[in-house]
Structure 1
């Protein structure tokens, strides 16, 4: 662990774990978005309406918000090896069910369930955090996130060609099933080859499972407050499917979901009290404390980085088509540059964080993101297309490098809760996507970009309250002794 070099051509030790895990994430994203490039074929085969297609897109992200919270708890308790293997294994069979669907109802149910695979990202954050020291964790997490996130782009690039290779009107079914087969095989490979920690290291687990631990009375209420936006985002998704919008849910079902979300929040609050009620009776020892504001700031930062990425990737092809009067194929190719930046930008953000400081790097990258979106808000048909694409890719660099900088800090907050911290931050990314896409449905593209820029400026102010991880954090060994872990 003393070696400060990351030799990506190696396939041993921590580098092997990195390669095994980013590819697991790559497959989870490929399965999660394997329907997107084939929607036209799916629509034609099953005779779907435009509203039903929109509903599938919404359902695909709906479950990911609570899934990332749940997966975060599971990975902290059972370890990333078994949780990632099981997630890939189960998802492959849901993928097969989607490929075999012969009605919209089956498509909708299986697409909703496949939203769970989008939580795979959280698992690898804990795994990489276990294997790499603080001085390398930013770059390693950036490579994991950036290369794995490319799975959605790989699906867009390869699956239409694969469907044509299989041939026929239902070639899409075989293309989607192929991603399920690969994922099923890899779930077994990952289980056999991956290990939770380096040999001789301890895998620290939360004392209790059901909610995140906090260490002060103020943080208890802060945690309850930060849970609200996740339920609000699910309520917005329900509203989109309700009779007031797409009309895919009846009024009775819609109100039932709203009531269920309120009940779930009440239940989660009871779990937060069960896990943390003791802090109102006696204070937590100083050595075991951490500041929940660290988690909250990272949540908001990921909301504005990954949330805006998901939203912009969804609208950018149409924006280029309408602004420059291009064909859908031309617009899609030009817009793809935003997603392609992940391969380089996210690892770069992590590297900057390792080399130049966590808080400073995040400040610069969020600031650049804000400027980038202000520039995009000024794009008109008068711009040269090359300049518009260049501005888009420059903005994308700051967005995705910012994502890398966020998750360069996540493993340094509290080791035994890394999965839960990653899960909450990841869920906020999806909250951001829902928020920004909802705004987009009401305003012009220019105003949409300005709203994201404004959110980035607010986030930039919040980042100034972030504490730079430094020194050591304490974790309790199974035998009750305390181990100090370097975070700087």
Structure 2
């Protein structure tokens, strides 16, 4: 009896330590992943960038960080999230150091592409943390580990101040030190997750045959894509349209990212109690409504910020609801499903800055780009309504 109790206590300790350090490590990785957005004004001056070049720079890290979530999630399932997480944090140090040495926009883009690997920490972290908790607790647990997204907000709060007070290069030395510290803590304090070494790449990729993988990917393309793209675009909007200083604009971006992240576990907890698909239809309607408010208030800063906050709250809640369903798609392949869904969510953050920059270059305005967000939200609502609300498909019974 005492031995069983000790084992249970040890298991709980391992679970809570895995959840805690996976989350904190993801915060640091996301700080690296989103480092350019808070510093966009400084970088634009240093490299003489146009609006379209700035949006390209913001989008570039998102590309690799999205696509590589698929293999990284699969590798975590097969070899263990701890090993993959440690190798990832070591790799991130390379592009962070590169950024302090580049002198051309082309080389900056190369470094931005490589630092995008930090975004794959999401697939690794979810795969690693999810195995320690039973299904009835996974909505909340995955909501908590996904709060690593808060790295975007932390970056927006801290990096502009570090750049202003200690210089541009100090930002990247700071990020490198944080990454090394977390890698050491993770390596020492966390146990490796149980893995099935007989898994094959072909078996993991079989999740692509599950229609639910692609429906969740579409929905996450909208909700998580909003989180990434608006965290990056908010400082650009506020600075370009309203003339808000870089540090203040960074605070607004941090507010958006923080709200979007903090409410995520609430969405996961709610999805543990209620039917997730029923809640999602109201989430998509809410996104469309707040996006419409943003589109119509580009000359009214208070209402514009209200729209930004509203979108952050609704999208963050939706992120938690969607990821409640991920472990149910294919048993034992949570990392693989997370990779696919997370990749599409990341691509949802990659394309909007490029489209917004392209539309602004043609029209001189941002409103049409926001209108495309309204249409995307309505499309997701229609697909959800037809397939899951009026259909007979249920991911979570």
Give 1:402's aligned residue: 318
The 5-angstrom pairing of residues 163-178 of structure 1 reads 163-166=163-166, 171-178=167-174
| Residue 370 (structure 2) aligned to one of 445, 449, 460 | 449
Higher-helix-fraction structure: 2
CA distance in 2, matches of 1:392, 1:65: 23
Give 1:190's aligned residue: 186
Question: Which structure: larger Rg?
Answer: 1
| Residue 305 (structure 1) aligned to one of 217, 223, 227 | 223
TM-superposed deviation, 1:164:
4.2
Give 1:207's aligned residue: 199
Q: Over the residues paired in the alignment, what is the CA RMSD in angstroms?
A: 2.8
TM-superposed deviation, 1:174:
2.5
CA distance in 2, matches of 1:178, 1:334: 22
Distance 1:119 1:41, change over 3 A: same
The 5-angstrom pairing of residues 5-404 of structure 1 reads 12-42=13-43, 47-50=47-50, 53=54, 55-146=56-147, 148-166=148-166, 171-197=167-193, 202-204=194-196, 207-210=199-202, 212-214=204-206, 223=208, 292-321=210-239, 324=242, 326-327=244-245, 330-381=248-299, 383=300, 385-404=301-320
Give 1:436's aligned residue: 352
TM-superposed deviation, 1:13:
3.7
Quick check: 1:366–1:459 contact (8 Å CA) kept in 2?
Answer: yes
Larger deviation: 365-374 or 67-76?
365-374
Distance 1:326 1:88, change over 3 A: closer
CA distance in 2, matches of 1:391, 1:87: 36
CA distance in 2, matches of 1:65, 1:22: 18
Distance 1:369 1:379, change over 3 A: same
Give 1:272's aligned residue: none
CA distance in 2, matches of 1:44, 1:448: 25
TM-superposed deviation, 1:43:
5.5
Distance 1:195 1:211, change over 3 A: same
Aligned length: 375
Distance 1:174 1:370, change over 3 A: same
> Structure 2 length normalisation: TM-score?
0.84
Distance 1:296 1:132, change over 3 A: same
SS in structure 1 of the partner of residue 73 of structure 2: helix
- In the TM superposition, what whole-angstrom CA distance separates every residue of 1:391-415 from its partner, at most 9, and x where no partner exists? 3212211111111111111122123
Distance 1:72 1:56, change over 3 A: same
Give 1:421's aligned residue: 337
TM-superposed deviation, 1:203:
2.9
SS in structure 1 of the partner of residue 200 of structure 2: coil
Distance 1:106 1:194, change over 3 A: same
CA distance in 2, matches of 1:74, 1:82: 9
CA distance in 2, matches of 1:378, 1:105: 36
CA distance in 2, matches of 1:52, 1:380: 22
TM-superposed deviation, 1:30:
1.1
TM-superposed deviation, 1:326:
4.8
> Structure 1 length normalisation: TM-score?
0.69
Quick check: 2:156–2:253 contact (8 Å CA) kept in 1?
Answer: no
TM-superposed deviation, 1:298:
0.5
Quick check: 1:130–1:196 contact (8 Å CA) kept in 2?
Answer: no
TM-superposed deviation, 1:176:
0.6
TM-superposed deviation, 1:334:
3.9
Distance 1:52 1:127, change over 3 A: same
Give 1:468's aligned residue: 394
Distance 1:454 1:416, change over 3 A: same
Greater relative contact order: 1 or 2 (C-alpha under 8 angstroms, separation 6 or more)? 2
